Amino acid sequence: YCHMEKLANLDKLPATGFEICCFPFKIKRASAGFVRAVAIFED
């Protein structure tokens, strides 16, 4: 189970036509961290 919170600018995305990819940062000895969330649009 994973979840993301406090994502910004979601209102700027269209209702459909994109995928979200998340790239986590590794942090030693941490039980949580942060991700770089990226929207990939269809051509």
Q: Which whole number is the average pLDDT over 18-42?
A: 92
Spatial separation of the C-alpha atoms in residues 24 and 15, rounded to whole Å: 25
For position 37, what pLDDT does the model report?
Answer: 94
Q: List strand residue ranges (DSSP E) for the chain, in order.
A: 18-24, 35-41
For position 14, what pLDDT does the model report?
Answer: 93
Question: Binning pLDDT at 50, 70 and 90, where does residue 31 land?
Answer: confident
Q: How far is CA 38 from CA 12, 18, 21, 24, 30, in A?
A: 13, 10, 5, 11, 23
The answer on pLDDT for 32 being more than 90 is no
The answer on pLDDT for 40 being more than 90 is yes
Pairing of strands 35-41, 18-24: antiparallel
Spatial separation of the C-alpha atoms in residues 22 and 15, rounded to whole Å: 19
